[in-house]
Chain A
């Protein structure tokens, strides 16, 4: 028997001793990272990058799958008792920080989670982690000529890529990095990038300080990097910049890669909208007054239900996207993955429910 099989059988046997809980529910009393059902990570260090960005060094718990540079991870953080999930690019290559990984977060104005992570996270905090995801990753071996175009926190996945590329080897790729930030002080990883560029002739760094020079235009790109359409291009930044550059791309489509941090802007919390039930594939148009439970039932979805007045929690379902309004409080809420009470929730804009 392989050690893995032995471990699995032992764990199955131990479950008879811990039923209805799992052995890890008790083990996590000693160390919260010893759980596998729910991937966790402990914050080992917090390092300020700029006045409003910080790098968190996180030690992932059991069950972590090594990521590829450029990938992102969902991070769950408890703020004021409630869990919030957000997505962040990993900013280090696997192995470069020991067993740890890093994420670099820029505090967005009014952003609950980003501000909490940047300003109020202390060493020792346990975060929930998703698995590394995303296809914004360099092929193996990396293309010989690369152009990275980034802005703001868009540098984070590219930092992980640079971290993973062997810049000192003779056969390493030729890299141009064009990065935009309001001022030199706002450049996340500024000192590190400049030092890398000084030490490695194969890395050319152009900083665009937008407060003085204005936003980067595709024409500027052609000037800074005349062969840009012949390179493998990797772009990460605000949607407007991405769209602008994409519109001017004349090279092969498979050499142009973008990573969008914000998808289509969340629909304004309006009233009603299109409701899609993802598992049953049914859809319905709804006003802002009909509970999602009724919307689903009318659309022929098998809806779990109970009291229909918000007390029994027999109707909770997972929200995949969109926002809902609680008819009792008028409060609009909704994070992807949140469990909502369908009997007292109405759609506030387009909504997807996992039923």
Chain B
């Protein structure tokens, strides 16, 4: 729960300078190796997708169905997470390749890249974990911190969180429309309508591709192909939901109040990003499959550094946190998922009242800094 971290005075500006140094070092060393990484990954992902679809054409053989579906699911996960998410962050813009560029990339999910870039890159990454500013806190649908006032609708949140996991891509697309801002006039309904049409067009193409065109091409294997594609999409959704919820909602991630933003310095911004994010421990393959969001802390400190570098700088960031007396939250996937679900279940009910509600940790830290 928020408020567990009560810092001694922290040299936030010194911390920020050290992080800037890491950032500059990485930027200065970007080159051939990094370019080769993303190009190879994209090629592997596309070949995996082609193999998966080819195998599914032979899906009257049950092992072919299983292998094809698995390959397609992995391809879709890579496409969304390690490739799409990170390309759209501009992590690869430095290569100046218009084919791998944040302004031209489009991905295989219901959210059009433009809309997602606004709600994610700008709103979420700038105002990470600030109540009332970062809409990603509970995705405007869930109560994941006691500071959010309770409402009876939250009693159903364990149920709709499970539903959201299954249909995550649609959930995110609808969420990006910012419908909750329309009644207060902060969002023009016309704009939301235009965005909804763009979402519908994308969903239509995905449905035609995965549930009509490829099954029809498979002829007698129509049904197994359709089911394989559906399974791959659902698996991708559940995986993305799982990883993403572990980024900011487990035990240890803090939320902040808006006063924290006033005159926030570079160092304070870094500290907020650190305190609001949680890592997941794992091996190299796991990190790639998570889109390196398992390095959520490094990603939030440096959202535009190429994801293949996060694992390299993670030990240095961790050591810096130790040196400056700042917490660095990391845990196994099982632990973080358990922590998230504990929160979703507990906060479905009213309370708990925060012990130090009068003095939220964000302000404490700011005063100390």
Contact = CB atoms under 8 A, between A and B. Distances in A.
Indicate whether A and B interact: yes
B158 to A, nearest CB: 33
A285 interface: no
A21 B99 CA distance: 11
Given A81-B35, A312-B125, A20 B106 contact: yes
A75 B303 CA distance: 31
Contacts of A313: 89-90, 93, 102-103, 117, 121, 304
Contact of A312 (B30, B31, B94, B121): B121
Interface string A198-232: 00000000000000000000000000000000000
A244 interface: no
Contacts of A243: none
A306 B121 CA distance: 8
A201 to B, nearest CB: 50
A19 B209 contact: yes
B178 interface: no
Contacts, number: 105
Interface in A11-27: 16-21, 25-26
B97 interface: yes
Interface string B15-52: 00000000010010011111110000001001100100
A169 interface: no
A38 B94 contact: no
Interface stretch (B166-174, B200-208, B234-242, B333-341): B200-208
Contacts of B35: 78, 81-82
A55 to B, nearest CB: 25
B303 A17 contact: no
A252 to B, nearest CB: 44
A306 B122 contact: yes
Contacts of A309: 126, 269
B204 to A, nearest CB: 10
Nearest to A306: B122
B149 interface: no
A316 B121 contact: no
Contact of B93 (A316, A329, A335): A316
A9 interface: no
A190 to B, nearest CB: 35
A97 to B, nearest CB: 28
A17 B54 CA distance: 13
Given A16-B213, A25-B46, A29-B46, A314 B107 contact: no
A53 B89 CA distance: 40
Contacts of A165: none
Contact of B122 (A38, A307, A310): A307
Interface residues of A, number: 32
B118 interface: yes
A82 B98 CA distance: 11
A16 B205 CA distance: 7
Contact of A82 (B27, B96, B205, B209): B96
Contact of A81 (B30, B90, B126): B30
Contacts of A83: 95-97
B94 A82 contact: yes
Nearest to A79: B32
Contacts of A25: 46, 99
A316 B94 CA distance: 12
A38 B99 contact: yes
Interface string A79-98: 01111100000000000000
Interface string B246-272: 000000000000000000000001000
Interface string B99-110: 101110011100
B150 interface: no
Nearest to A310: B304
Contacts of B96: 82-84, 335, 337-339
A112 interface: no
B203 to A, nearest CB: 11
B214 interface: yes
A311 interface: yes
B98 A81 contact: no
A339 B103 contact: yes
A311 B303 contact: yes
A80 B50 CA distance: 30
Contacts of A19: 108, 205-206, 208-209
B95 A81 contact: yes
Contacts of B50: 26
Contacts of B213: 16-17
Interface string B275-307: 000000000000000000000000000011000
A335 B121 CA distance: 26
B24 A20 contact: no
Contacts of A339: 93, 96, 101, 103
Contacts of B97: 78, 83
A348 B89 CA distance: 26
Contacts of A29: 43, 46-47
Residue in A20, A81, A310 with the greatest tally of chain B CB atoms within 10 Å: A81
12 contacts: A20-B108, A29-B46, A81-B95, A82-B95, A82-B96, A306-B117, A306-B118, A311-B126, A313-B90, A313-B102, A313-B103, A316-B103
Given A16-B209, A21-B46, A81-B35, 14 more contacts: A19-B108, A20-B108, A26-B50, A78-B35, A78-B97, A81-B32, A84-B96, A306-B117, A312-B125, A312-B126, A313-B89, A313-B102, A314-B121, A316-B90
The 3 tightest CB contacts between A and B, nearest first, are: A313-B90, A81-B35, A312-B121
